Chain A
């Protein structure tokens, strides 16, 4: 392969560097600020460390404040996003598979309803959902966040499109002739062939739930059930009375962002493989 001219490479490299600075500067600020106390947070230059950085002490403070509530929020977030995403993936996989592979009456109607579901802003649903869940006694429980989280119309959309392309009918037919039951065919063959799409759905839903603010905001009142984001905003809410909370908010933000960023970077490959399926075939 011929190498492009040097001039061109320099331009490319400088453009990419500028972009990288833009994307990384706030992250850099977060890292620097996580080592500061509230006074330094306001009092010192944001892009450089204060005279006495206390990275470890401050993070320990964050973790131990209010009987370790932060760890609990973190665990809640993991629970909501983890369990929610796993269930969402299985449900979407099964539904997408069926919509792709079984011709039955009403199939297109269902698919169109699901598509419309993709287009409806989730925040428009949260409030009516709250009243509905309240009447069922589910508000302010783990279920209030978990149940809506396992429904992913986009996941179904993606899985259907992927299954239609990646799961050959001939293979299914052969399995049926061998006498395998539908559940086994799906569990053994379908899921395996759909793996890239499923991983994508899982990641997509994981991030979606992790980042969701509105639903838990509306549903939860007991701070023991909060996910991290809600917890951190509640800290900023008390911060004028207890300024140390500014420092905890920043430290908490730092702690919560790190694992997700690592996850993002490590799992990039999977995002790439599955994500476009929806668009390639549409």
Chain B
């Protein structure tokens, strides 16, 4: 950190240095929308809003809203989320000048959309008054300078899923630290199974693991972006997993795909470093293992530590060209805070609510039986409360994930070190951001 020019407070949002810049952002937005300036709905006027999402079951809360608000009808257009297509579509639509009114956008990609002037600053609409309804750090994920660019929906605090029955049978302890985890991996390997897989293409999880270790991939200094993927904490994580891979203690197949599900079903893989939303995945894809799973806290780097990270999580954002921004904001807030809406979202299996109220942690234990009656959501609620909240995302995260995936794939094939991956991706990311016309510096 000391050699890092990035000023920690700057990252935390609300910094004065940034404020001026983002005030400009607001001007830019309104200046752009010449013909279709944001309109105020007249009383009694009927309007339609379009909402792009890919979340299964999102239509249920939207239907409820439509029944309750006959004047503001929201139409869900389901966009495909294969390989990040949904964002591709949104970027293209912004560029083409015809984005929808609302969109489902995950935390990491918000800055990419700001780069396009794609999202509407909700602050002038008084969004700040909703701040207290949400967990602070999640609200903060879409706050840049004075601008508020989205309403948080859900997060994904990380944890460890394990097959308790197999761990018991093999006499393996639930690992509390990463050292324990390696020991467990070794013990499990002796039994012919693999503790799990290091999926080279999953940049998302890798960033979560780096986050837990204390990495700071993005930051800002004045009007310059600081990129620091090759930092010490990330190297620690890379070394750790490289060692597991080299010792052949983990598989290297892609996760959340057919072959992986099959391994979960058969017990060939009895554990998963996942996130809160993973319950639905396990229940759906390994129904035969009902009652045998448990959730445990994410292993720690220091015994007795309580440092967690986030994997996934998303927001409801209003696009810059939205025709009725005020109504769009009202809908976004309702969707993510109204108890009935939250209940329907939980039913749909989507993540850990960003709202503080409107549900009980136990409501989230929808699959209690699958976890042998364990109140597993408490584990994730606890993790969520101890997420390092200073982590910040920067522009071009989708590309970053792709770069990481490509480089890890190469490294697995030619046996080069994971540190070389970080070095390579750090260089590529600097070039990518420069290519986008940004001022950028290496934080290393």
Contact = CB atoms under 8 A, between A and B. Distances in A.
Contacts of B45: none
B77 A237 contact: no
Contacts of A246: 258
Interface string A94-127: 0000000000000000000000000000000000
A50 interface: no
Interface in B57-97: 77-82, 85, 89, 92-93, 95-97
A217 B96 contact: no
A184 B38 CA distance: 55
Interface stretch (B22-30, B199-207, B277-285): B277-285
Nearest to B283: A243
Contacts of B280: 241
Nearest to A131: B96
B382 to A, nearest CB: 24
Contacts of B350: 241
B419 to A, nearest CB: 31
A140 B98 CA distance: 10
B261 interface: yes
A237 B81 CA distance: 6
Contacts of B77: 221-224
B56 interface: yes
Given A139-B98, A240-B281, A42 B262 contact: yes
A131 B96 CA distance: 6
B202 to A, nearest CB: 12
A70 interface: no
Given A139-B96, A238-B56, A242-B56, A221 B89 contact: yes
A212 interface: no
A39 B56 contact: no
A140 B92 CA distance: 12
B265 A236 contact: no
Interface in B390-434: none
B54 interface: yes
Interface string A187-225: 000000000000000000000000000000110011110
B284 A241 contact: yes
A68 B139 CA distance: 37
What does DSSP make chain B's interface, helix, strand, loop or mixed? helix
Given A234-B78, A241-B56, A242-B56, A39 B96 contact: no
Nearest to B285: A243
Nearest to A226: B80
Contact of B97 (A135, A240, A241): A135
A64 interface: no
A70 B280 CA distance: 24
A218 B78 CA distance: 15
Nearest to A67: B59
Nearest to B258: A42
B82 A237 contact: yes
A268 interface: no
Interface in B272-292: 280-281, 284-285, 287-288
Given A43-B265, A223-B77, A241-B349, A130 B285 contact: no
A222 B54 CA distance: 11
Among A130, A134, A221, A230, which residue has the most Cβ atoms of chain B within 10 A?
Answer: A221
A5 interface: no
Interface in B94-148: 95-98, 100
A123 B147 CA distance: 39
Q: Interface centre among B97, B261, B349, by most A CB within 10 Å?
A: B261
Contacts of A134: 92-93, 95-98
B251 interface: no
A214 B77 CA distance: 19
Contacts of B386: none
Interface centre among A130, A240, A242 (most CB of B within 10 A): A240
B254 to A, nearest CB: 11
Contact of A130 (B80, B92, B281): B92
A234 B80 CA distance: 5
Given A38-B285, A223-B77, 6 more contacts: A42-B265, A139-B96, A234-B82, A237-B81, A238-B54, A242-B56
26 contacts: A39-B287, A39-B288, A42-B265, A131-B95, A134-B93, A134-B96, A137-B98, A139-B93, A139-B98, A140-B98, A221-B52, A221-B77, A221-B79, A221-B100, A223-B79, A224-B77, A233-B80, A234-B54, A234-B82, A237-B54, A237-B80, A240-B256, A240-B284, A241-B350, A243-B285, A244-B284
The 6 closest A-B pairs by CB, nearest first: A134-B96, A237-B82, A243-B284, A234-B80, A223-B78, A222-B77
Interface of A: 38-39, 42-43, 130-131, 134-135, 137, 139-140, 217-218, 221-224, 230, 233-234, 236-238, 240-244, 246
Interface of B: 52, 54, 56, 77-82, 85, 89, 92-93, 95-98, 100, 256, 258, 261-262, 265, 280-281, 284-285, 287-288, 349-350
